[in-house]
């Protein structure tokens, strides 16, 4: 797993906000309605992948494989 940061964005669309995970090549919507027509970036931040995985395993231990 890379030690680099992962970019997260909250995007406001016509149907409401969504949470996306991004890299230099594009992104993936994790939660919320699709931002049809592109939407507007409401908030952008970066997270450490190791910290994200650590917390994910606490809140959703069933994803551990």
Cα dihedral 25, 2, 61, 56 sign: negative
Query: How far is the C-alpha of 12 from the C-alpha of 15, rounded, in Å?
Result: 8
2 pLDDT higher than 60:
no
Nearest to 14 by CA among 39, 42, 51, 43: 39
> Can you give the pTM of this predicted structure?
0.77
As given in the structure block, the two tokens for residue 21 are: 């995970």
pLDDT tens digits, residue range 6-61? 999 999 999 999 999 988 788 899 999 998 887 899 999 999 989 988 998 998 88
pLDDT score recorded for residue 63: 77
With CA atoms as reference, report the closest residue to 7 among 60, 40, 52: 52
């Amino acid at each position: 797993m890379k030690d680099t940061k992962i970019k997260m964005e909250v995007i406001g669309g016509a149907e409401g906000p969504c949470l996306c995970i991004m890299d230099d090549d594009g992104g993936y919507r994790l939660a919320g309605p699709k931002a049809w027509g592109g939407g507007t970036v409401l908030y952008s931040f970066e997270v450490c992948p190791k910290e994200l995985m650590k917390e994910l395993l606490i809140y959703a231990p069933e994803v551990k494989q």
